[in-house]
Amino acid sequence: MTTEAQLGFFGLALLLGLSPGPDNLFVLMQSATQGRRAGLLVTLGLCTGLLAHTAAVALGLAALLASSPAAFGALKLAGAAYLLYLAWGAWRAPAALQAGSEPLRLQPWRLYGRGVLMNLSNPKVAIFFLALLPQFVQDDAGPVPWQIARLGALFMLATLIVFGSFAWLAGGLGQLLRSTRAQRLLNRCAALVFVGLGIRLISSEL
């Protein structure tokens, strides 16, 4: 692939990462409630999920998902159920802050797993990749699966840069809100965001 084509795709991926969406909202809320490290772990999980979506496009699985309303609906229901589960946990989470103490933190593997599941359970990502990546494939640039893999890697790099920046900024905001009342408010806001994302996912169409 030409350098110009790759740079153009990378710039587009950066802009898409900056546009409001469920994934960056997810990173923002996890970073604000759990800290910068948590947001970065969630970001790594989301990028891992993009590996699967890239492979699905390269192998043609995303096209199968797009052509099967039943499969699309099942994955959509699973993703919405997971988001509602996270909302329930965030709503019930104790502030657990006393003077000079740290808020309760989830284990790293749980945070990373949240990012992976959030990405994999959203069929809209697979459909989006199916629509986007083939547009940048070039006839004379080698095997199509390898081109798709390279584009997916560029998209993951852009996601890591943008979402990592979101995690760093939102984590700093969370550190400023270290009172019990503020932590409880952040947890409730996170719960409402998760509910909103679940409703948005369940109402989405092919």
Per-residue model confidence as pLDDT tens digits over 140-170: 877 878 888 899 999 999 999 999 999 998 8
Residue 67 inside a domain? The answer is: yes
Q: How many domains does the chain have?
A: 1
Residue 1 inside a domain? The answer is: no
Per-residue model confidence as pLDDT tens digits over 108-134: 888 899 899 888 887 778 878 887 888
What are the two backbone dihedrals, phi and then psi, of residue 15, each rounded to the nearest 5 degrees? -65, -40
Residue 162 inside a domain? The answer is: yes
DSSP 88-129: HHHHH------TTPPPP---HHHHHHHHHHHHHT-HHHHHHH
**What is the reported pLDDT for 44?**
95
Distance CA 98, CA 115 (A): 29
Residue 9 inside a domain? The answer is: no
With a cut of 50, say whether residue 101 has pLDDT above it.
no
With a cut of 70, say whether residue 85 has pLDDT above it.
yes
CA distances to 21, 46, 106, 129, 158 from 65, in Å: 21, 20, 33, 12, 25
Residue 65 inside a domain? The answer is: yes
Residue 17 inside a domain? The answer is: no
Buried b (16+ CB within 10 A) or exposed e, 116-152: bbbbbbbbbbbbbbbebbeebbeeeeeeeeebbbbbb
Residue 146 inside a domain? The answer is: yes
Sign of CA pseudo-dihedral 5, 131, 157, 161: positive
Query: Which has more pLDDT, 202 or 119?
Result: 119
Average predicted confidence (pLDDT) for the chain: 79
Share of the chain above pLDDT 70, in %: 82
Per-residue model confidence as pLDDT tens digits over 32-83: 888 888 899 999 999 999 999 898 888 876 676 667 777 677 777 877 787 7
Contacts of 55 (CB under 8 A, 6+ apart): 61, 149, 152
**What is the reported pLDDT for 118?**
85
Domain of 51, in residue numbers: 23-202
How many Cα atoms sit within 13 Å of 84 on the Cβ side? 11
Distance CA 15, CA 12 (A): 5
Give the amino acid at 121. S
Per-residue model confidence as pLDDT tens digits over 13-42: 998 888 777 888 888 888 888 888 889 999
Residue 74 inside a domain? The answer is: yes
